[in-house]
Amino acid sequence: MFEKNGIISNERQVEALNEFAILLLQWNKKVNLISRKDEDNILWKHVFGSLLLMSKINFEMQSRVIDVGTGGGFPGIPLAICLPELQFTLVDSIKKKINVVSDIITQLSLKNAVAICSRAESLSETREHKGRYDYVVARAVAPVNDIVRWSKNFLKINHKKGTENTKQKCVTNFEKGVIVIFKGGDITQEIRETEIKQKPKSIEIVPLVVNGMDTFDFTDKKIVLVRP
């Protein structure tokens, strides 16, 4: 399934992804990290769903990525497992969730991931984090306009344009300095609001087309790429 969708991983990484799912389910009995009705689909809806970014985006080596509103560690932990050459910072304002994410990072021995309890808009103004990241990633934690407003200051400036990865069929005009947001449903109004209020350089919507998947329907899911 991974190879069919351009997701490159090895046996050790697949084992780590499974271990992550097990740890998350154990924690979910104590802390509300994912919906109980999603527990049976955790590998497909949450883990595999997070990794679909790799089928669309050619992350450059040694990049720094910040996951805004990570919740139970999505998409940050699956990406950190499969992209060990990147550095990930996972942020959430709910301390009990970040405590879980920190514990899972420790148990998985992820050297390229850290978890921070903070509001994104506050953290993005600190000297340690303002203008320090190449990419921002976020799931549907809020409307697009809010995510962009909260997180645009995390990004470095003066990025050079990236190159197309034809082997993985990645987004052709993807650049560093972009906010990457998972979204579902009709987001027409959200995009319009973002264009008016944030005046980004560009917004691109990339449909998630999944090959060989019958377990979970990604039909209305898409990735929104915003370059502030």
**pLDDT band with cut points at 50, 70 and 90 for residue 27:** very high
> Judging by beta carbons within 10 Å of its beta carbon (0-12, 13-18, 19+), is residue 12 exposed, middle or buried?
exposed
pLDDT in tens, 123-145: 999 999 999 999 999 987 799 99
3 state SS of 189 = helix
**Token output for 226:** 């915003």
What pTM did the predictor assign?
0.89
- Stretch 199-214: mean pLDDT: 82
**Dihedrals φ, ψ of 48, to 5°?**
-60, -40
- Pick the residue with more confidence: 168 or 186? 186
State the total domains in the chain: 1
Confidence (pLDDT) at 43: 78
Residue 75: asked if its preceding bond is cis (omega within 30°), the reply is yes
- State what percent of residues in the chain have pLDDT above 90: 64
Whether the per-residue pLDDT at 215 is higher than 60: the answer is: no
Confidence (pLDDT) at 220: 80
Confidence (pLDDT) at 28: 93
Whether the per-residue pLDDT at 62 is higher than 60: the answer is: yes
- Pick the residue with more confidence: 158 or 40? 40
**Token output for 46:** 């949450």
Q: How far apart are CA 194 and CA 153, in angstroms?
A: 15
- Stretch 51-55: mean pLDDT: 85
Place of tokens 């089928």: 55
Confidence (pLDDT) at 48: 85
Cβ atoms within 10 A of the Cβ of 118, count?
A: 15
Confidence (pLDDT) at 158: 65
Q: How far apart are CA 185 and CA 5, in angstroms?
A: 22
Bridge partner residues of 161 (DSSP): 175
Whether the per-residue pLDDT at 157 is higher than 90: the answer is: no
- Pick the residue with more confidence: 89 or 14? 89
Q: Find the CATH number of the domain harbouring 217.
A: 3.40.50.150
- Show the domain range for 92: 3-227
Confidence (pLDDT) at 159: 55
